[in-house]
Structure 1
Amino acid sequence: MRLDEHDFLGQFSCSLGTIVSSKKITRPLLLLNDKPAGKGLITIAAQELSDNRVITLSLAGRRLDKKDLFGKSDPFLEFYKPGDDGKWMLVHRTEVIKYTLDPVWKPFTVPLVSLCDGDME
């Protein structure tokens, strides 16, 4: 999958600690210049499982911008973390949800060491 084949819908950034402590966050998507990216929202729900140090995320988008010619989009999410060399490394990519502006992704579990090297802040 190539990023240049897809339209950028927006972004949201926060610490893993914010997600875990909030349990559920709904925020507007922002463009790279931090201006609102239309009407799209992202919802993040998380549950920390302390015994095996993984995080399970349930994610949904609402009212995303139309990016396809026929008025629907094929949204997906990608999670990156900075590597030791300063380059961003892909940690997880969700499945593509076809033909929707209100995607609901399947819950997925990521080891904390993969997501943030075990650092909750």
Structure 2
Amino acid sequence: GDEEPLPPKAKSMNLLDVTVKTRWSCIFCGECCTDAFADSWLLNDVAKTVGKPLDGLCSRLGRDNRCSDYSNRPSSCRAYPFVMVKHQGKVYLGVHAICPGLNTGAEIELEKIKARLKHLYFSRDAL
């Protein structure tokens, strides 16, 4: 859905609506490789590729808070913190609320994000 608010189930996933005013920049904090695992919907997707986390950390997270296998990371990691949610036949765009990079940097290029996520989520190796 193009500027439609997220469905109610998105709240239980810690997701917020994404708009042209959403600001985000990766600050390389590594939170998405640690705390994000608390959300089982994300863990299930990542675990398919990298295995279950060890002590709450992704097994590929290096000491420098960077992925040790960045070029082969799963689709959900490539898209993070942006997520596509399917609900009653529609696809919605959300952003994971726990990402410390939210509200930093410039306003996102919404159409670019949508196109990237559609490619990641609906390509052969994605969900």
Shorter chain as denominator, the TM-score bin is 0.3 to 0.5
Structure showing the higher helix proportion among its residues: 2
Normalized against structure 2, the TM-score is what? 0.32
Of structures 1 and 2, the one scoring higher in RCO (CA 8 A, sep 6+) is: 2
With the length of structure 1 as denominator, give the TM-score of the two structures. 0.33
Q: Which has the higher strand share?
A: 1
Which structure: larger Rg? 1
